[in-house]
């Protein structure tokens, strides 16, 4: 397992490799020009036998490949299809900038690329990504997990194949709960608070029973999405008008604030923590509850990095009434540039890497969570990835972050206002009212540019 663990690629690491955390300031500067008509894929390609794309070079970009997994897969693709894959390696955090610059100068520099679900609306509205709706078969649509499929769609059309289909699992230290005499995992937030206080009163944890990634960054948005939905909140209506200053979302933000100052169950350091610091606290056995991307039980059961081997389990996130469990998902996919000169070869690559067989190789060989429902029942995958069946239960209740073409600017605005509430500079209602007002300005600005 250790060798396999070392190959696994977490979402956090993948995001770093791909540079998905590029600053919103840059995004604002790169607001899409007047949108051309969405590019559509040609008729379904007829792939001949042998090496149908020999002589073709597909260009893409990505971060360093420390495990060599990507290079191995690209070599396998060339062996099977004939096309070479040329990867331009870029430093952490620079992929998005380089990619959008290429889009605005014609879009032919890269044939395919990794796309985050939050980028799909922006890229579609700008005409940068190929519409592959006619290439995605009914059989594929039926087997893809709904949230993973939704992440690659916009206004009913397909723009990518799910490649990394992760969500934040609710993880608890079962040994801690047993030691504190807690026999059942809380299903409501009220019970969660009581259980956390019991764990602290009995000295099972050093000081705080839980911690979150609430620094001013994308991480706090992910946690807020999960919590807001678990409180019955909504984010946008069908016309992309913000709704997240309603009762459910306000109650969620009030709950987040109260876990720090009133209930005193959240480590206050959470206001400066990313997922890495939360993971480290869990590995050390310092907290009993936390959210985690990817395949949580793999690193938690790795004695090289964890002191809680065999102690943790995956459950459903509590909700305000015990009936609305939810968590945040973050599917990433592979997409084709609308300016690519090799669209059919690029589609073959997407199917090779992100199709069912490719996803199985990725899951077993690199620990990448698949987006295909059938793989969650595949004996070989289940043997390689313990806890996958438990994760699938939460996967039935996942929510993607808002799908708006001005996502990064909106996200930055909301991050600031969430922090204002969590540091008591504003009440939760005031902070979310201000966030909604600024979001409407962002939307109006985008629509005026679009014309």
What is the model's pLDDT at position 417? 98
Q: For each of the chain's 451 residues, which pLDDT tens digit applies?
A: 333 344 444 444 444 444 333 322 222 332 333 334 445 555 555 555 678 999 999 999 988 888 899 999 999 999 999 999 999 998 767 888 899 999 998 888 999 999 999 999 999 999 999 999 999 999 999 999 999 999 999 999 999 999 999 999 999 999 999 999 999 999 999 999 999 999 999 999 999 999 999 999 999 999 999 999 999 999 999 999 999 999 999 999 999 999 999 999 999 999 999 999 999 999 999 999 999 998 898 899 999 999 999 999 999 999 999 999 999 998 999 999 999 999 999 999 999 999 999 999 999 998 889 999 999 999 999 988 877 877 888 888 899 999 999 999 999 999 999 999 999 999 999 999 999 999 999 999 999 987 6
What is the model's pLDDT at position 96? 87
Nearest to 70 by CA among 60, 57, 81: 60
Nearest to 432 by CA among 226, 214, 168, 228: 228
pTM to 2 decimals? 0.83
What is the model's pLDDT at position 26? 27
- The CA distance from 90 to 212, in Å, is 30
- DSSP letters of 417-438? HHHHHHTTSS-HHHHHHHHHHH
- With beta carbons less than 8 A apart as the criterion, state whether 292 and 168 touch: yes
- With beta carbons less than 8 A apart as the criterion, state whether 434 and 417 touch: yes
CA-CA distances (angstroms) from residue 282 to 53, 113, 277? 48, 34, 9
Length of the chain in terms of residues written: 451
């Amino acid at each position: 397992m250790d060798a396999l663990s070392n190959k696994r690629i977490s979402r956090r690491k993948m995001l770093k490799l791909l540079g998905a955390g590029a600053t919103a300031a840059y995004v604002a500067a790169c607001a899409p020009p007047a949108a051309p008509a969405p590019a559509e894929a040609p008729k379904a390609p007829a792939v001949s036998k042998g090496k149908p794309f020999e002589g073709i070079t597909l260009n893409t970009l990505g971060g360093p490949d420390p495990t060599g997994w990507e290079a191995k897969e690209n070599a396998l693709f060339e062996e099977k299809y004939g096309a070479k894959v040329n990867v331009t390696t870029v430093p952490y955090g620079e992929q998005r900038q380089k990619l959008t610059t290429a889009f605005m100068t014609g879009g032919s520099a890269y044939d395919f690329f990794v796309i985050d679900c939050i980028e799909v609306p922006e890229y579609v509205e700008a005409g940068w990504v190929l519409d592959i709706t006619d290439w995605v078969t009914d059989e594929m649509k039926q087997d893809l997990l709904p949230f993973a499929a939704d992440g690659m769609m916009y206004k009913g059309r397909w723009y990518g194949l799910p490649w990394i289909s992760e969500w934040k699992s609710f993880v608890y230290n079962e040994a801690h709960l047993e030691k504190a005499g807690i026999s059942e995992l809380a299903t409501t937030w009220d019970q969660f608070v009581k259980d956390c206080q019991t764990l602290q009163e009995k000295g099972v944890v050093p000081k705080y029973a839980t911690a979150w990634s609430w620094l001013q960054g994308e991480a706090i948005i992910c946690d807020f999405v999960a919590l807001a939905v678990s409180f019955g909140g909504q984010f946008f209506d069908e016309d992309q008008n913000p709704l997240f200053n309603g009762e459910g979302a306000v109650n969620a933000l009030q709950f987040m604030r109260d876990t720090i100052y009133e209930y005193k169950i959240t480590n206050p350091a959470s206001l400066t923590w990313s997922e890495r610091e939360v993971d480290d606290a869990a590995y050390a056995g310092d907290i009993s509850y936390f959210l985690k991307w990817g395949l949580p039980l793999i690193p938690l059961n790795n004695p090289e990095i964890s002191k809680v081997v065999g102690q943790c389990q995956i459950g459903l996130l509590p909700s305000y009434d015990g009936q609305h469990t939810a968590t945040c998902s973050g599917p990433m996919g592979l997409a084709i540039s609308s300016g690519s000169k090799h669209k059919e070869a690029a589609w073959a690559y997407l199917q090779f890497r992100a199709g069912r067989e490719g996803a199985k190789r990725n899951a077993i060989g690199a620990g990448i969570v698949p987006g295909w429902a059938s793989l969650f029942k595949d004996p070989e995958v289940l043997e390689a990835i313990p806890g996958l069946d438990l994760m699938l239960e939460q996967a039935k209740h996942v929510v993607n972050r808002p799908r708006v073409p001005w996502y990064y600017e909106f996200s930055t605005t909301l991050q600031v206002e969430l922090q204002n509430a969590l540091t008591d500079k504003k009440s939760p209602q005031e902070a979310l009212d201000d966030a909604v007002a600024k979001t409407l300005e962002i939307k109006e600005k985008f629509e005026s540019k679009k014309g």
